[in-house]
Amino acid sequence: MKMRNLRKERVGTVTSSKMDKSIVVMVERRVKHAKYGKFVKKSSSFVAHDEKNECNQGDTVKIMETRPLSKRKNWRLVEILERAK
């Protein structure tokens, strides 16, 4: 079985690109409330590796899970889907 195909992918918005070769990506998801049934937005932040420093704040990007690169960095940039306006 190939483990490479089991890697998670997420699409989110870059919230910070001030670090060297690193970005912070906020990923939003919709979760149904257990008691009331209303869909609520929840968000998670991921630190991702940006090898070429090509992302800016506000860009929509796709990130993929990878081996640990540092204490908090387990994701890497796959592609930039949309540039910030």
CATH code, domain carrying 68: 2.40.50.140
pTM for this model (two decimals): 0.88
pLDDT at 13 over 90: yes
Q: Which domain holds residue 27?
A: 4-82
pLDDT tens, residue by residue, 51-61? 999 999 999 99
What is the number of domains present in the chain? 1
Is the pLDDT score of 39 beyond 80?
yes
Residue 1 has pLDDT above 60, yes or no: no
Provide CB contacts within 8 A for 53, sequence distance 6+: 17, 20, 21
* Cα 42 off chain centre by: 14
pLDDT value, residue 85: 87
